[in-house]
Amino acid sequence: MKFKISDQISAIKPYEPGKPLKEIQREYNISNAIKLASNENPIGFSPKVYDAVTKNMKDMNRYPESSAPVLTNKLAKKFDISTKNIVIGNGSDDIIALLAHGFLNPEDEALMPLPSFLMYEISVKTAKGKPVMVPLTDFSTNLEGLIHKITSKTKLIFITNPFNPTGSTISNDEFMNFSRKVPDDVIIVVDEAYIEFVRDKTVYNSLQKPLQDPRIVTLRTFSKAYGLAGFRVGYGVMDPDIAQILNRIRQPFNVNTLAQAAAVASLDDEAFLNKSIQTTHDGLDFLFKALSQFDINCLPTQSNFLMLDLKTDATIVFEKMLKLGVIVRSMKSYGFDTFLRINTGTPQENIAFINALKKVLNN
């Protein structure tokens, strides 16, 4: 028997994450591989997280607290907002899906850059909405292009700042000029997964003065700067009218007990967060300087990763580096055939990457 699925679902291109470290080591029969492909935190997570998770293991026969009250209260205090402005998710991907299902009727439109995080498109299509793609301009979000694509069917606009995969940013002035042109009934989703790594003070940060505009929904994650990618916990900050709709349709136990405990503990360790950010900045400075010796063009970045143009088929270089035990990301699937993307690692991992790249390019 052959089951029929909707046209929207059949048209979805599956999300392809970077290969796990253990899978690569098995496939290529190598050990001690380093992974710089998924924008993960190379120094792990706060020691306080380990203690908190261990302490909460005894309660794993119980369901988690649905509203994550300890975590939401801590976030509310951090940003001087109400808990009614916060929605907790199983990663920020979860909240993206909730927004699509909460606000899109069939054939309603959601605007997004092209390329961008694939979960925007997948979530919109599963909600039976229509994703409208606006190509980048000079590796940056084309804000004017997004404005020109707005119609009466537009309900959501996805903005990523800093942008993945290019590392570009939107300044405060640019965003304010953009938002003034967006109709009052369109929600602007600002995905700030990498905002902690920004060094440029002119970059727009929606939570410096949160909730100034009821149309803006901010997405944040604990996966990057806090090093909790495996725990899957993110959050959204938004107008309470939007939050109550998302909380109405989210799964009641969407963030597990250990993830909640890990996130709370990570917020209590400012020293680790600062160390994580400094490690990233030091790594970027090292990589930019080392790559300049190869005469390789690197895109400016305000994130924990960078894109480099090899002026040749980057997939070939990517595969050769895999065999040397260095996992990076080919950008071919994003339409950037000659580019690799790498995230910063530990000092030892950064050196290993440079040595492997030198070996591959010399051959």
In the chain, where are the structural domains located? 17-44+271-362, 47-268
Q: What is the pLDDT of residues 81-129, one digit of tens each?
A: 999 999 999 999 999 999 999 999 999 999 999 999 999 999 999 999 9
What the block records as the tokens of 12 is 């979805």
**pTM of the predicted structure, to 2 decimals:** 0.93
Examine the pLDDT at 68 and tell me if it is beyond 70.
yes
Cβ 111 vs Cβ 154: under 8 Å: yes
Residue at 190: amino acid letter = V
Distance CA 131, CA 134 (A): 10
Domain 47-268 listed as CATH 3.40.640.10 = yes
Model confidence pLDDT, tens digit, residues 263-296: 999 999 999 999 999 999 999 999 999 999 888 9
Contact predicate 95/236, CB 8 Å = yes
Q: What is the pLDDT of residue 32?
A: 80
Q: Comparing C-alpha atoms, which of 287, 315, 326, 283 is closest to residue 21?
A: 326
Mean pLDDT of the 168-179 span:
98
Instruction: For 326, list phi and psi in degrees, rounded to 5.
Output: -120, 115
Lowest mean pLDDT, pick from 16-30, 233-247, 323-337: 16-30
> Comparing 163 with 10, which gets the higher pLDDT?
163
* Phi and psi torsions of 111, nearest 5°: -90, 145
pLDDT for 63? 96
Query: What average pLDDT does the segment 2-11 reach?
Result: 67
- Whole-number pLDDT of residue 115: 94
| CA–CA distance, 56 with 94 (Å, rounded to integer) | 23
pLDDT of residue 16: 61
**Residues 313, 337: Cα–Cα separation, whole Å:** 6
In DSSP notation, 177-214 reads: HHHHTS-TTSEEEEE-TTGGG---TTB--TTTSTTSST
pLDDT at 10 over 70: no
Any alpha helices (H) in 157-300, and if so which ranges?
Answer: 172-180, 240-249, 257-267, 270-292
pLDDT of residue 14: 65
For residue 249, pLDDT beyond 70 = yes
Residue 202 · residue 171 · CB < 8 Å: yes
Q: Does 47-268 match 17-44+271-362 at the fold level?
A: no
CA-CA distance, 300 to 269, in Å (whole number)? 29
Fold category of 17-44+271-362 in CATH: Aspartate Aminotransferase, domain 1 (3.90.1150)
